[in-house]
Structure formats: C-alpha cells, structure tokens
Amino acid sequence: MPAAVVLLGAQRFEPTLGEAVAELGVKGRIAVITAGWQEREDEDEDLAAHLDGRTVNLRLHARGEQVFREDAELRRAHRERQVALRSRRDFYRIRLEHALEADRVIRHRAPPPDVAIEQALASAEAVRLIDASLVASCARLRGEFEGRWALADRPAVARQRKELSELVAGCDAVAIAGGHVATLLNRFALFGMAALLRGKPVFAWSGGAMLACRQVVLFHDFPPQGPGAPELLDEGLGLVPGLVVFPQPEERLDLTRRDRVQNLVQRFAPARCLALPARSRLTWIEGRFEAVHGVVELRDDGEHGPFRPGTEAAA
C-alpha cells in the first residue's frame, strides 16, 4: 500500500497540490501520471511549475500507444476486449436505467412509512446487484485477458514496465491527475502501476481521486441532454477503503435534490459518499484520516455536510 494517500479537489483553477506535498514533507521528485489527458498528457507545464519543476511525467498514454505499435497481436486482442467491455456496459446501462426508473415510481407512492423504507431499501439492493454483476463481468474479462496474454512477458510491455519501475523508484511520491478515468484504469492495468505505488505517498485529484477508490462511479447531474443516472464504471485501486468520491460537485452534482443524494448514499452503502469541491483535501495514512479540509459528506437523509470521519473508513 502507499505510505499515504491524499485526495484533492480539482487542481486546474485553484491548485492546492503544493500545499499537500509540503504538508507531508515530500521534498524530492514526484512522478506524475497524466494519462487521463490522453494526447495532451505532455501539456503539464502548469503542474510542473506548481511543483517547482520537480515532476517526472510517466507518459503512460504515450507508452501504451508505443506498446500497441510494437505488438500488433496484443493491440488487436486489447481492442476486442474493449469492445466486449463496452457491450457489457451497454446492457448494464439498460438494466440500471429501468431499475432506477422503478425506484423513482415507487418513491412517488405514499404507503405507510415502514413500507416506504422497506421498498426504498429493496430498490437500492436491486441496483447494487446490477452494479455487482457489471463488476464481476469486467473482472472476469480482465482475468481472461491477462491470463491468456501474460502481459508481463510481452517484450514491448516488459520493457516499458522496467523503465517505469526505475522512474518511480527514483521519485519520492506519485501524483495522479484527472481526465478520462477509463484510460487511467486501462493504463494502470497494462503497466502494473498499482504495485509501483507501494511505500510512496500518492496525491490524486478528479479522475485520479476516483481511481483511488474501490468503486469508480461516473456521474453528471447537469449534462446538456439532462440529468443522467450515475453509473459504476469498474473497480478502482482501493487505495482508500470505504469511500466513493464525487469530484467537482460544483459543476457535476445537484446537492439540492435530496432524493438523488439519498439514492446515491443508499446505493453505495456502507461506503461513504464524499464530494470533493475546489480546495478540499483528505489525507489517509496507515488506516486513519489524518487531515480533512472542506470535504462534503452526502447523508442517507438526502442532506449533506462537512465530513467528520472517525478513526477508520467504512470497510
């Protein structure tokens, strides 16, 4: 496990990463992962300047493209796996939307209070089963892919993994930026990055903060086409247990809708649902929350307020 994990609010307009790095006493170089920016991952000048030029960009997206150029067989197999994953997520989305619509109809009824509570819990359990089915399906596909293709033994992959291991070993910490979270997940898996985080402080924000949790949830209450249903994308790294995080709530989460907040909390219980607004920060060290600044917790009554952790996160 990492020596510490710090989850941060978005860094583009109000960066606080430097404060968090100083708070943990990190003075050396910092390995930076901007693969979620995809083709723009080299455009890290502002991030490098914010950290006084101490960054080493690992270029995971570009390294992945290089692997696929060198290993056409693996590229075809990876593409086929991605098509299979997308197909399963399409069917997952159909089932999820129907289950959430059934829950909406049920919640508009006016049964006795005990029946209302019973049915709300039943709806949440139905959605959790749909989520769990997706996770199991994704895990099975990944396992089959990795078992068949033995990524660590493919020369193009092995060469990149060796270089990455050496680069990370020479850094005192790792920073994971946001962007396209599915790309982050893919590149982390391709290069076995989770193992390289052991013993180092990890700083993560936006999509990177989502990746750090066990469940990666896609959400947006204000898209042009109208509010969509929050979707479970896949399992993340699980660096901080018992949390589901929602970055940039100012732009993406309608906290005035008590019914939607309540649905989220019930759906992902016993994990705690946390919003990470600008300038927020959450520090996890050796099984404890050591510092919390500006983090918002969503509650099962549909309300929200400052996150006040106990000594440990939910299991």
How many domains is the chain partitioned into structurally? 2
How high is the mean pLDDT in each 10-residue block of the chain (315 residues)?
92 93 95 97 95 97 98 97 95 94 86 86 91 95 94 97 98 97 96 96 97 95 77 95 95 91 91 96 92 95 91 45
Let me know whether 287 and 181 are in one domain: yes
Within this chain, do residues 184 and 302 fall inside the same structural domain, yes or no?
Answer: yes
CA distances in angstroms from 304 to 102, 156, 265, 282, 298, listed in the order given: 25, 48, 10, 17, 4
Burial 122-144 (b: 16+ CB within 10 A, else e): ebbebbbebbeebbebbeeebee
DSSP state of 25: T
Are residues 19 and 77 both part of a single domain?
A: no
Q: Residues 189, 207: one domain?
A: yes
Its sign, for the CA torsion 30, 34, 35, 41, is: negative
What pTM was computed for the model?
0.93
Q: Residue 166 domain-assigned?
A: no
Q: Are residues 41 and 99 in the same domain?
A: no
Please check whether residue 290 lies inside any domain of the structure.
yes
| CATH number, domain containing residue 63 | 3.40.50.880
The alpha carbons of the chain give a radius of gyration, in whole angstroms, of 20
Same domain, 128 and 177: no
The distance from CA 184 to its chain's CA centroid, rounded to whole angstroms, is 9
- Going 83 to 86 to 88 to 91, the CA torsion angle's sign is negative
